[in-house]
Chain A
Amino acid sequence: MTNVLTATKPPAMQTPIERNYLDVSGVGKAFRGVRVMDAMNFRMAKGELVSLLGPSGCGKTTLLRIIAGLMAADEGAVVLGGRNITTLPAHKRNISVVFQNYALFPHLTVAENVAFGLRARGTAKGDTAKPVAEALALVRMTEFADRPIAALSGGQQQRVAVARALVVDPDLLLLDEPFSALDRKLRETMQVELKAMLRDRGITAIFVTHDQEEALGVSDRIAVMNAGRIEQFADPSTLYARPNSPFVMDFVGLSTRLHGTVTSHDAGMITVKTAIGDLHARANFPVGTAVLLGVRPELVAPDPDPQMNSVTVPLRDVMVLGSKTVLHGVANDADRVLCELPGIRSGFSHGQTATLGWSIEDTLVYEVAG
């Protein structure tokens, strides 16, 4: 397999309609007078795999249902492939949805479930056999064609749901928490499989998920959502290395968190006084600003160079996880220092004090309410 993370079609080769293939603009929604979404803008290109990532209640499922036509937006427009579908009912949009609980029809067999979309589009019963067989072969469920749905495991049900969604050749595929009902091992296998399948067939797809690892693994770009807004919409590496808010930093991956106040400011470099000493970061905040410092755990290491940020903290926990060893240092009640070292590392123990450091360039800094 090629590097699937970066193997997207270069934008220059796409037409303007393909570049803004799905264009959600100014969409708002209220439930019983409570605004859950305001002026939502969201664009993605044809063939892209995008994740909507956020905690429950952030509006990601609302956005998915509005795109699918299963829920009407109060205002705003949804345009797909140059066609305004804002007021089009779901069954005329040609947008397939894989539901969280798969929503397979319990009174139909596997093959009848997969044939459903073709039958609904008026395909004669006799003409569904070939596309259904192909779709089942694609998800490796051929031998289950005549089984009832109740006889399938969770992973098998998911494959059928994907086959049923793809057999109609949708313009857009929406997946609502598609892996959440699977156990961890199966989930990882299915993520790799599904991503390769969608990529091979050039499917444009949106995954809705609350699982950051899943989002990082399956998507070209991730829209991190919070309270009905998109906080940041970027590719996985940018999102992880340069989160634009404390929310994104905390939601995508783990990090050291240290609160402090800017005490000096000179040529794009600030000094921040924290509970465990002075630290530096590249930023332009005036003296007196309350800030939050962060750094990703794998960028933190023991025995730092003198020009790096350095702290000495008691270790509350040392977790040896096989492929990595995680040190959890305590700064104070709210603040912590996380250090992740590759492989099994001895020489650290609970209660011991460690000196840990990281590069000033790697230090994330956000203004916070004092």
Chain B
Amino acid sequence: MIARLDRISLLAVPALVFLAAIYALPLMMLLAKSFQGPEGTGISAYIEFFSDPYNLNVLWRTIRVALLTTLLALLIAYPTAFAMARANGIWLTVFLVALVLPMSLGVVVKAFAWSILFRANGALNEFMQWIGLTSGPIRMMFTETALVVGAANVFLPFMVLPIYAVVRQLNASLPDAAASLGATPLFRFTHVTLPLTLPGVVAGAAFVFSLSISMYVIPSLIVGERQQTMSMLIARSFLYLRDETLGSTISAILLAIAVAVVLFSSWLAGRLGARQ
């Protein structure tokens, strides 16, 4: 049995070698740079980063945007996953295509399409003035709201699919059993459906949060240089400032947040799933 297992686990070797060479090694080298300042090895780069209010502002904005994006994606994805789990045949195909096809479109095309909708003389502003909701055009492009909406749009499939996978596995007679035991629709949701689908929510939230905290193209296109995020700071450090220490320091901080989120969510998913 052990010999057999070992032989099968050899199949992971190509992936491990690939990841080690292309991902882990360069990343380690990059992180090592963050500890090498002009005055020698140390954590001075980190102290410097955290003592600048501008950087703290960018860090907080990045986390806030990622949290809001995750929340918005969750609110849209959760009911969608239930509708998908109920659908079958042609409707399921329609759902999946509608979800996956936009991923192949690319963020650049999407961002320019949004600008048609959101700009000052765009369709949404014209409509809101026409129905009398607003008296003049309001600013929607280049705002944090636009960024959150755009990011949630792009990352939606990463929230829907894990939740859908869990909902699909749900025993359909559990809500019936709860109802026959006297549970109101709300009690059924809070005590049966929600706890049983939480592992999917945790997985989806971890995906979307990790993606949004490190996104670069979407904020560059939607909010531009006006409101920097961590990834934009990294790019600026490397590309314009040519400050490798600063760039790798910010990278390390971003990586630490992403690792913490992934570890926490796998721990949470493990706890939630342990009993089932």
Q: Which residues of A contact B31 (CB under 8 A)?
A: none
Is A68 located at the chain interface by the 8 A CB criterion? yes
CB–CB A116/B196 < 8 A? no
A107 to B190, CA, bound (A): 13
Total number of A residues with any Cβ neighbor in B under 8 Å: 32
CB–CB B183/A103 < 8 A? no
CB–CB B276/A150 < 8 A? yes
Q: Which residues of A contact B275 (CB under 8 A)?
A: 106-109, 148, 150
Q: Which residue in chain A gives the minimum CB-CB distance to B170? A: A106
Q: Which residue in chain A gives the minimum CB-CB distance to B180? A: A97
Say whether, besides A99-B176, A107-B196, A116 and B183 are in contact (CB < 8 Å): yes
Q: Which residues of B contact A92 (CB under 8 A)?
A: 182
Q: Which residues of A contact B185 (CB under 8 A)?
A: 91
CB–CB B180/A90 < 8 A? yes
Q: Which residues of B contact A89 (CB under 8 A)?
A: 179
Is B98 located at the chain interface by the 8 A CB criterion? no
Is B9 located at the chain interface by the 8 A CB criterion? no
CB–CB B180/A68 < 8 A? yes
CB–CB B184/A103 < 8 A? no
CB–CB A107/B276 < 8 A? yes
Is B191 located at the chain interface by the 8 A CB criterion? yes
CB–CB A120/B187 < 8 A? yes
A121 to B184, CA, bound (A): 9
Q: Which residues of A contact B179 (CB under 8 A)?
A: 69-70, 89-91
Is B51 located at the chain interface by the 8 A CB criterion? no
Q: Which residue in chain A gives the minimum CB-CB distance to B176? A: A70
Total number of B residues with any Cβ neighbor in A under 8 Å: 21
Q: Which residues of B contact A121 (CB under 8 A)?
A: 182
B181 in complex: contacting residue of A101, A150, A168, A174, CB < 8 Å:
A168
Give A102-128 interface residues, CB cut-off 8 Å to B: 103-109, 116-117, 119-121
CB–CB B182/A97 < 8 A? no
Q: Which residues of B contact A95 (CB under 8 A)?
A: 180
Q: Which residues of A contact B182 (CB under 8 A)?
A: 91-92, 94, 117, 120-121, 168
Is A280 located at the chain interface by the 8 A CB criterion? no
Q: Which residues of B contact A70 (CB under 8 A)?
A: 176, 179-180
CB–CB B181/A120 < 8 A? yes
Is B171 located at the chain interface by the 8 A CB criterion? yes
Is B192 located at the chain interface by the 8 A CB criterion? yes
A121 to B61, CA, bound (A): 45
Is A96 located at the chain interface by the 8 A CB criterion? yes
A168 to B181, CA, bound (A): 8
CB–CB A103/B276 < 8 A? no
Q: What 0/1 readout, one digit per residue, does chain A (329-344) give for beta carbons within 8 Å of chain B?
A: 0000000000000000
A165 to B178, CA, bound (A): 10
Give A22-49 interface residues, CB cut-off 8 Å to B: none
Q: Which residues of B contact A90 (CB under 8 A)?
A: 176, 179-180
Q: Which residues of B contact A106 (CB under 8 A)?
A: 171, 196, 275-276
Is A164 located at the chain interface by the 8 A CB criterion? yes
Q: How far is the CB of B273 from chain A (nearest CB, A)?
A: 9
Is B102 located at the chain interface by the 8 A CB criterion? no
Say whether, besides A99-B173, A106-B196, A116-B191, A164 and B181 are in contact (CB < 8 Å): yes
Q: Which residues of A contact B178 (CB under 8 A)?
A: 105, 116, 120
Say whether, besides A106-B276, A116-B191, A91 and B183 are in contact (CB < 8 Å): yes
What 7 new A-B contacts, CB under 8 Å, besides A70-B179, A108-B275, A174-B180? A91-B179, A99-B176, A106-B276, A117-B182, A117-B183, A121-B182, A165-B181
